[in-house]
């Protein structure tokens, strides 16, 4: 007997309640509770097929981990090395990958290019679009030059028909564009709701794991930049990729924030052109090509993005405030880090910054969150405050503590080598990082123990 149950679900976090509430107890958002009708069936839910037997519902025995034989997971490599890097070395068979980004950022363009590249390697690819007709997809493919006999296009939103199409085509790679448009007929809520997104993702996960098909899911993002739908969506998939950048600029950053088959925090950089996305092999040159010479408040730091060192410019503008409370604004870095470092400069170095407005920016639209950029931020703030430029051939690396000390950072050798490639002659770094590794030719290392020492070498005191 089929039973119906009415409940209210928060569209932000997935919290369920038997009655409507204005404020969600789970995430604290207002007016996010939506009524949904759940159909309870006595039928048993489908299970994953066991990887060894391929049978459903077969009872398995617990096995000692030392008795399990392992092998390297085979990967499908695309022609985009930056995408392979973000995925941890290529596409793993049977993986479920979620890619999110702002509208118009290039998610569909990237996946259509990847589909064509896989099709040209004789892999059968099924591109399922819930937002475009097959003719619209064909027009976009013609513009990008991504047409192949092994690339199948299907326009559908019903999950039952999508599963049947996957059975008929038997592809190696499936693209779902997007998960917010797909729906399960058994679920009564609207497409894009928490229940629909959860059920459709569970079905796609079952298909990927039981048939060994790699599936890419496109996810919309909210105003805050998070992927729309319940947080459970990111927990269910194997890999989560964020496609970042500004629509008015040509550069796009593909960042991995979760990856079961590789390193997290990996980053791939692309440039949007008329014929699609092209990878940027040396992003440091891109971020530094428009740097002004002799300008105060500008420093260069070697930051690690996953396993890759990237040189970026940090700019600071310090000016007297016209208000009772000085403003502290930051773009590309945590805004809470700015007042913290300004307090260290005021207490430990003696700079009077309490009546100064501070504006900081990471050039190129990159977002940095590692502690090794602290010293470069502090030097750029002091440089702007004193109106003294730093040397254009200086690269500054180091973490700053609250007592004014400069702490050791990781992977210092890779950072210095990247700086040497781009012609930097001097690197200011923590004194504890000196020794134990090979210094590139033509690079002078200056070890500092405190912020005051770093300012003495970079600004002359």
For the segment 245-255, the average pLDDT, to the nearest whole number, is 77
Q: Six-digit token pair at 214?
A: 């790699």
Q: How far apart are CA 57 and CA 5, in angstroms?
A: 28
Q: Six-digit token pair at 356?
A: 């100064």
Where does 245-307 show beta strands of DSSP type E?
251-259, 267-273, 276-279, 298-305
Q: What is the enclosing helix (H) or strand (E) of 451?
A: helix 451-459
In the prediction, which pLDDT does 401 show? 96
Ranges 64-78, 140-154, 202-216, 423-437: which has the least confidence: 64-78
For the segment 56-75, the average pLDDT, to the nearest whole number, is 76
Q: Six-digit token pair at 75?
A: 């990967």
Higher pLDDT: 93 or 305? It is: 93
Output the DSSP codes for 165-188: HHHHH--SEEEEE-GGG-B-TT--
- Tens of pLDDT, residues 133-147: 999 999 989 988 888
Q: Six-digit token pair at 129?
A: 């679009």
For the segment 8-20, the average pLDDT, to the nearest whole number, is 84
Tell me the average pLDDT of the chain: 87
For 150, half-sphere exposure in the C-beta direction (CA atoms, 13 angstrom radius) is 17
pTM exceeding the 0.85 threshold for the entire prediction? no
Long-range contacts of 184-190 (CB under 8 A, 24+ apart): 184/159, 184/160, 185/158, 185/159, 185/160, 186/39, 186/41, 187/38, 187/39, 188/36, 188/37, 188/38, 188/39, 189/9, 189/34, 189/36, 189/37
> Does pLDDT of 14 surpass 80?
no
At 361, give phi and psi (nearest 5°): -150, 140
128 close to 177: Cβ distance less than 8 angstroms: yes
Q: In the 8-state DSSP scheme, what is residue 365?
A: S
Q: How far apart are CA 246 and CA 262, in angstroms?
A: 27
Confidence grade of residue 51 (pLDDT, cut at 50, 70, 90): very low
In the prediction, which pLDDT does 217 show? 94
> Does pLDDT of 424 surpass 70?
yes
3-state helix, strand, coil in the chain (%, to 5): 30, 30, 45
> Does pLDDT of 90 surpass 80?
yes
Query: What are the residues whose beta carbons fall under 8 Å from the beta carbon of 194, sequence distance 6 or more?
Result: 9, 10, 11, 14, 36, 229, 230
> Does pLDDT of 303 surpass 60?
yes
> Does pLDDT of 54 surpass 50?
no
296 close to 460: Cβ distance less than 8 angstroms: no
Angle at 421 between CA 415 and CA 422, to 5 degrees: 100
Angle (deg, nearest 10), helices 107-120 and 134-144: 80
Pairing of strands 308-320, 426-430: unpaired
What percentage of residues in the chain have a pLDDT greater than 90? Answer: 53
- Tens of pLDDT, residues 152-203: 999 999 999 999 999 999 999 999 998 989 999 888 888 888 888 889 999 9
> Does pLDDT of 330 surpass 90?
yes
Residue 31 Ramachandran class (φ > 0 left, ψ -120 to 50 alpha, else beta): left
- Tens of pLDDT, residues 375-400: 999 999 999 999 999 999 999 999 99
In the prediction, which pLDDT does 49 show? 47
406 close to 399: Cβ distance less than 8 angstroms: yes
First to last CA, the chain: 81
> Does pLDDT of 40 surpass 80?
no
Alpha helices in 102-215 (DSSP H): 107-120, 134-144, 159-169, 194-211
> Does pLDDT of 259 surpass 80?
yes
For the segment 251-262, the average pLDDT, to the nearest whole number, is 87
Task: Calculate the CA 376 to chain-centre distance.
Answer: 24
Ranges 6-15, 20-29, 324-333: which has the least confidence: 6-15
Pairing of strands 394-396, 426-430: parallel
> Does pLDDT of 148 surpass 90?
no
Q: How far apart are CA 219 and CA 111, in angstroms?
A: 12
Confidence grade of residue 266 (pLDDT, cut at 50, 70, 90): confident
Confidence grade of residue 7 (pLDDT, cut at 50, 70, 90): confident
In the prediction, which pLDDT does 218 show? 92
286 close to 269: Cβ distance less than 8 angstroms: yes
Q: How far apart are CA 355 and CA 377, in angstroms?
A: 19
For the segment 320-332, the average pLDDT, to the nearest whole number, is 90
Q: How far apart are CA 442 and CA 167, in angstroms?
A: 60
Alpha-carbon dihedral sign for residues 346, 349, 352, 356: negative
């Amino acid at each position: 007997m089929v039973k119906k149950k009415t409940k209210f679900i928060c569209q932000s976090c997935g919290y369920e309640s038997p009655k409507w509430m204005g404020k969600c107890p789970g995430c604290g958002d207002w007016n996010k509770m939506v009524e949904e009708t759940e159909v309870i069936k006595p039928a048993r839910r489908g299970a994953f097929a066991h990887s060894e037997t391929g049978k459903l519902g077969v009872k398995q025995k617990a096995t000692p981990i030392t008795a399990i034989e392992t092998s390297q997971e085979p990967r499908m490599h695309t022609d985009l090395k930056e995408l392979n890097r973000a995925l941890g070395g290529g596409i793993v068979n049977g993986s479920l990958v979620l890619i999110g980004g702002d509208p118009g950022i290039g998610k569909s363009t990237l996946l259509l290019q990847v589909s064509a590249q896989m099709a040209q390697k004789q892999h059968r690819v099924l591109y399922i679009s819930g937002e475009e007709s097959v003719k619209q997809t064909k027009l976009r493919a013609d513009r990008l030059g991504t047409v192949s006999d092994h690339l199948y296009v299907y326009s559908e939103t019903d999950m039952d028909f999508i599963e049947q199409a996957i059975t008929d085509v038997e592809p190696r790679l499936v693209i779902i564009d997007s998960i917010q448009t797909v729906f399960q007929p058994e679920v009564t809520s609207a497409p894009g709701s928490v229940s629909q997104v959860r059920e459709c993702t569970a079905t796609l996960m079952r298909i990927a794991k039981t048939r060994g098909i790699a599936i890419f899911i496109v996810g919309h993002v909210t105003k805050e930049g998070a992927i729309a739908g319940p947080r459970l969506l990111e927990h269910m998939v194997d890999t989560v990729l964020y496609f970042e950048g500004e629509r008015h600029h040509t550069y796009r950053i593909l960042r991995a924030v979760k990856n079961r088959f590789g390193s997290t925090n990996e980053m791939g950089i692309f440039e949007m052109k008329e014929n699609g996305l092209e990878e940027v092999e040396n992003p440091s040159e891109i971020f530094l090509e428009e740097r002004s010479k002799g300008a105060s408040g500008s420093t260069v730091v070697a930051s690690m993005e996953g396993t890759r060192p990237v040189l970026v410019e940090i700019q600071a503008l310090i000016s007297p405030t016209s208000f009772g409370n000085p403003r502290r604004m930051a773009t590309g870095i945590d805004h809470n880090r700015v007042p913290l470092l300004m307090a260290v400069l005021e207490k430990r170095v003696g700079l009077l910054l309490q009546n100064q407005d501070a504006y900081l920016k990471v050039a190129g639209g990159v977002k940095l969150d590692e502690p090794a950029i602290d010293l470069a931020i502090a030097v750029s703030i002091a440089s702007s405050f004193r109106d003294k430029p730093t040397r254009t051939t200086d690269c500054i690396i180091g973490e700053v503590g609250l007592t004014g000390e400069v702490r050791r950072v990781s992977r210092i050798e890779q950072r210095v080598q990247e700086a040497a490639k781009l012609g930097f002659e001097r690197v200011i770094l923590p004194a504890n990082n000196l020794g134990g590794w090979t210094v590139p030719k033509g690079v002078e290392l200056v070890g500092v123990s405190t912020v005051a020492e770093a300012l003495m070498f970079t600004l002359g005191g």
